[in-house]
Structure 1
Amino acid sequence: MKYIELVQKLIVQKKVLAIMGPTASGKSALSMALAEVLPMEIVSVDSALIYRQLDIGSAKPTEDEIVKVPHHLINTHNPDESYSASEFVEDVHRLVKEIFARGNLPVLVGGTMMYFNALQQGLNDLPAADERVRERLQLQWKDNPQALHERLSEVDPESAARIHPNDPQRVMRALEVYEISGKTLTEHRAEQKNTLSEFSLVKIGLLTEDRKALHEQIGKRFDQMLAEGFLEEVKALYAQPNLHGEMNAMRSVGYRQAWEYLDGVWDYETFVEKGKTATRQLAKRQFTWLRKEPDLIKIDPFNTSLQQRLRQTISALETSVDTSL
């Protein structure tokens, strides 16, 4: 195996590789190419991949890929279970130690920027969910969703400006935090502390200025998922009595639009267009996060070959090593 000495130095200096990027930018392909030359293990940074039964629509790694390279934080929860950013941070710290101990490089791969942010910027002591408050807010949302966002604008204008009015999960959570703790989400965020004291990140960002190329790739991938049986996958989930459309798993991009199609909200053609549009909007939000990411080494996935991206990533790892130690 090549580059064993490089990985050993990275382990001694407690450096972890992070491959970030918008959806459909080629993060998985790059990580699998790296695994051909580096002793490494992949830690998923994706809020959909943790769920069992969400396979096609989440672009989950294949069984062959999972066998070929150790993957973590994939298929760890059932669709009716919750998983928080704080749990993700705890899991990553545990996994990084274990992977280092095995002599491998931890590689964080994904596009859930909230998880990356929680890992780097830290978390505050947000109150646990209160089912009574949550149920009341859900009823209010069904009755008048605009009124809830307007109320958030009154009590926490900064969070309201950041959270889209059509994002019930985040709107309700911001109001729930305020009602339970008496502090706004903005005030809690101001109390965050950095949690990356045990290791540092070498960050690769797969970013392109060619949005048209990315949008075309998003459309092709959505069509491919449909051809592979994505809608049948969602129908199987839809038939389970313990699942409903407001669960976190079912609110994942693509799954939400498919669920609404099965609910009769859209016809098939509208569902497909809504699914592609929602994926493009997700990519736009990911771009917004990544443009603010400090120390990010940017690589254009649509203007380079996979081998070029591989060489640039290895070069970034080599440059990050402190040769004075």
Structure 2
Amino acid sequence: MSDRNVPQGKPAPVIVVVGPTGAGKSDLAISLALEFDGEIVNCDSVQVYRHFYIGTAKVPLSERRGVPHHMLDIVEPGEPFTAGDYARVARRVLRQIRDRGKLSVVVGGTGFYLRALLEGLFSGPSQNQALRARLISREQARPGLLHRFIRRIDPASAKRIHQNDRNKLARAAEVYALSRRPMSELFQSGRDPLLDFHAIKIGLNPPRQALYDRLDRRAEAMVAAGLGEEVQRLLNAGIPQDAKPFESIGYAQTLKLLRGEICPAEALQSLQQDTRRYAKRQWTWFARERDVLWLPGFGNDEAIVNAAMKAVRTALSELEKIHR
């Protein structure tokens, strides 16, 4: 992934829609794409996987209103796919959209993927699959081991990475083992920012309790839509239970349900609780994002859509004046 040879000329605008899960980011992104002749670029780390639909809340084809969507269903569940992989492919997509004379609308709630896309990633050591497997095996044998280790050698990364995210914890431990430098330190050097685009960032910040109520209803709707049947279908198709998308919210609870570890009521309660916690973490992450225009509502609220459109028009006009 490199932007060292930046194309000459003015940076192309790209709209970025951020916010917590369930805030209506996709609704707003589609409205903006229709208004500004745009195409949508997904920035969700689970929606990149094929075959996983109900639990990922992918926008169905019938609801995309004719707007092209990119970076959805591009990876098989068993394939490794990192934030660096995402950034490399998504940057290519952004340039293809720009070269067609269209405006990209990046939308999603995976803050680390967005950071990789816009700011680039550190030049850390390449993955060592054997070392990674050993680290994960030790974590499985002694849960919490990796997070305790990262807390000791890299407190900044320990704060950023959830204690149950064993893949990211293993990567942080792997980086330290191979480079003898904390990953957070490497983050500060060797980044490769996206210089040929200018991001116009719109954030959705609905009332917290209203969002939590919406998330609870969405969880119930996912179960009613057949989340359990989808997971059973995926297992029957030979997708292993340790495939990365099965670790995500909704699928993890459903696997436990199918294994008889929890009952349906417990699975739903856990799904709702973990989704609310995830939304809270997203709020915290995106609050640190620079230059975001925060709008106090959901992405399908008419007033919010109008405010976002006005903000984008203003930003596009200002960019045109600057680079005239």
Question: CA–CA distance in 2 between the matches of 1:72 and 1:177?
Answer: 31
Task: Give the corresponding residue for 1:126.
Answer: 124
Task: Give the corresponding residue for 2:286.
Answer: 290
Q: Is the 8 A contact 1:152 1:174 kept in 2?
A: yes
Task: Give the corresponding residue for 2:6.
Answer: none
Matched, 1:214 2:214: no
Change (3 A) 1:168 1:13: closer
Residue among 145, 151, 154 paired with 2:152: 154
Deviation per CA, 1:266-310, whole angstroms, max 9, x where unpaired? 2211111111111111101110011111110011225x8632222
Q: Give the alignment's TM-score, normalised by structure 2.
A: 0.90
Q: Is the 8 A contact 1:85 1:115 kept in 2?
A: yes
Q: Is the 8 A contact 1:51 1:77 kept in 2?
A: yes
The one-letter code sitting in structure 1 at the alignment partner of 2:168 is: R
Question: CA–CA distance in 2 between the matches of 1:140 and 1:12?
Answer: 50
Q: Is the 8 A contact 1:238 1:259 kept in 2?
A: no
Name the SS of the counterpart of 2:293 in structure 1: strand
Map 1:33-182 onto structure 2 (within 5 A).
Answer: 33-66=31-64, 68-182=66-180
Question: CA–CA distance in 2 between the matches of 1:185 and 1:81?
Answer: 23
The one-letter code sitting in structure 2 at the alignment partner of 1:225 is: M
The one-letter code sitting in structure 2 at the alignment partner of 1:307 is: E
Q: Is the 8 A contact 1:18 1:109 kept in 2?
A: yes
Q: Is the 8 A contact 1:121 1:192 kept in 2?
A: no
Matched, 1:241 2:241: no
- Deviation, 1:315, is 1.2
Question: CA–CA distance in 1 between the matches of 2:240 and 2:64?
Answer: 27
Change (3 A) 1:81 1:22: same
Change (3 A) 1:240 1:31: same
Question: CA–CA distance in 1 between the matches of 2:20 and 2:216?
Answer: 14
Q: Is the 8 A contact 2:33 2:67 kept in 1?
A: yes
Task: Give the corresponding residue for 2:265.
Answer: 269
Change (3 A) 1:237 1:103: same
Name the SS of the counterpart of 1:68 in structure 2: coil
- Structure 1 gaps of 5+ residues are 1-10
Change (3 A) 1:36 1:14: closer
Deviation per CA, 1:216-275, whole angstroms, max 9, x where unpaired? 000111111111111111111223434123x32111221112122223322211111111
The one-letter code sitting in structure 2 at the alignment partner of 1:106 is: S
Change (3 A) 1:305 1:43: closer
- Deviation, 1:215, is 0.5
Change (3 A) 1:123 1:103: same
- Deviation, 1:70, is 0.6
Matched, 1:280 2:261: no
Task: Give the corresponding residue for 2:25.
Answer: 27
- Deviation, 1:33, is 2.2
When the two structures are aligned, how many residues end up with a matched partner?
312
Identity of aligned residues (%): 33
- Structure 2 gaps of 5+ residues are 1-8
Q: Is the 8 A contact 2:18 2:203 kept in 1?
A: yes
Question: CA–CA distance in 1 between the matches of 2:191 and 2:149?
Answer: 28
Q: Is the 8 A contact 1:124 1:189 kept in 2?
A: yes
The one-letter code sitting in structure 2 at the alignment partner of 1:167 is: D
Q: Is the 8 A contact 1:141 1:148 kept in 2?
A: yes
Question: CA–CA distance in 1 between the matches of 2:177 and 2:260?
Answer: 35
Residue among 14, 17, 37 paired with 1:16: 14
Question: CA–CA distance in 2 between the matches of 1:140 and 1:314?
Answer: 50
Change (3 A) 1:238 1:120: same
Deviation per CA, 1:134-170, whole angstroms, max 9, x where unpaired? 2211221121122332222222222223323222222
Matched, 1:230 2:230: no
Question: CA–CA distance in 1 between the matches of 2:142 and 2:88?
Answer: 37
Q: CA RMSD in A?
A: 1.9
Q: Give the alignment's TM-score, normalised by structure 1.
A: 0.90
Task: Give the corresponding residue for 2:249.
Answer: 253
